[in-house]
Structure 1
Amino acid sequence: MADPQEATVTLPSDPASVTTARRYVCALLQGWGLPPDDPAADSVRLIVSELATNAVLHTSGQSPTFTVEVRLEHGEQLHIGVTDSHPRWPRRLPAAVQQDNGRGMVIIRHLTVESGGGLHVTPTEDGGKTVWIMLPWAVPVP
């Protein structure tokens, strides 16, 4: 079995960083063999966008940065985690609020489950959290 492939980037909690995070992960996965026109690439693109957007918009200024960690384990499992230092974990917003926003986690869960993966949240040592998604990896490891 191949050794895990890993990469991490820390970005400022700024709306422009969402695009940077998405491009970083997509370029990384393309380098690991995922074609940019693969349907899995589209799912990952949207998942990373939503996770990064949540880290920027829903931390109330309490997280000056967020970190994106990408790990491919044994060429079988893709893990993507977005960490921020805000203590509040993701939650579903009331329907009235969802008119303009609040559907990010619903989208992330749907895409993750549809791809045969899973989602979980883990606490960090500094009181924040990491939102993790795991997806099966069906691309041969280079």
Structure 2
Amino acid sequence: MKVHQIRFPVPGTHAAASSARRDLVAAIRAWGTLLPPELLDAAELVASELITNAVRHAGADGPISAGAHLGTGGLRIEVIDTNSEIPEAGLPGTAAEAGRGLFLVAALADRHGFDPLPSGKRCWAEFEFSAALSSAETHPM
């Protein structure tokens, strides 16, 4: 399987978060992989949550970047920001309109977490897939 990777800056605005999610998912889909639609849908929602959280909590603090890596082991989505606060899943009230993002990430991804960095943190989520899945370039339909 061919390895693919993308990373790009995300301005710290809510409009930019929406655009970044669309750009990231479009890039993953454009790689021409034979990933199941449900995995791509889950990756889109996870990317949206990670990017939105970075913009909401770190948008004013400095640069944000979003990226994805697809290799033989699976798909990894990462968002890096300059806010050093550790993300925590809270228990939002039933009427709360926010606060469920990390629960969604945990439910959809095979693994997720964060890595402290010298100037912020990296939040990531990984999706595994069968070794039988490969690029469309290798196994055309």
TM-score interval (norm. to shorter)? 0.7 to 0.9
User: Does the 8 Å contact 2:114/2:123 carry over to 1?
Assistant: yes
Distance 2:95 2:88 in 1: 12
Per the TM alignment, residue 9 of structure 1 is displaced from its structure 2 partner at its CA by 0.6
1:118 maps onto 2:114 in alignment = no
1:140 maps onto 2:123 in alignment = no
2:70 is aligned to: 72
Q: Could you state the TM-score of these two structures normalised by the residue count of structure 2?
A: 0.83
User: Does the 8 Å contact 1:26/1:36 carry over to 2?
Assistant: no
1:101 maps onto 2:98 in alignment = yes
Identify unmatched segments of 5+ residues in structure 1: none
Which digits, 9 at most, give the CA deviation of each residue in 1:58-112, with x for residues without a partner?
22722x3310121112x33111100110010111235349712111101111111
Identify unmatched segments of 5+ residues in structure 2: none
Distance 1:30 1:60 in 2: 27
1:131 maps onto 2:123 in alignment = yes
**RMSD (Å), alpha carbons:** 2.3
Which digits, 9 at most, give the CA deviation of each residue in 1:4-26, with x for residues without a partner?
32110111110011222211121
Residue pairs, 1:1-142, within 5 angstroms = 2=1, 4-34=3-33, 38-59=37-58, 61-62=60-61, 64-73=62-71, 75-96=72-93, 99-112=96-109, 117-126=110-119, 128-138=120-130, 139-141=133-135, 142=137
Distance 1:123 1:98 in 2: 32
In structure 2, what residue type is equivalent to 1:78? L
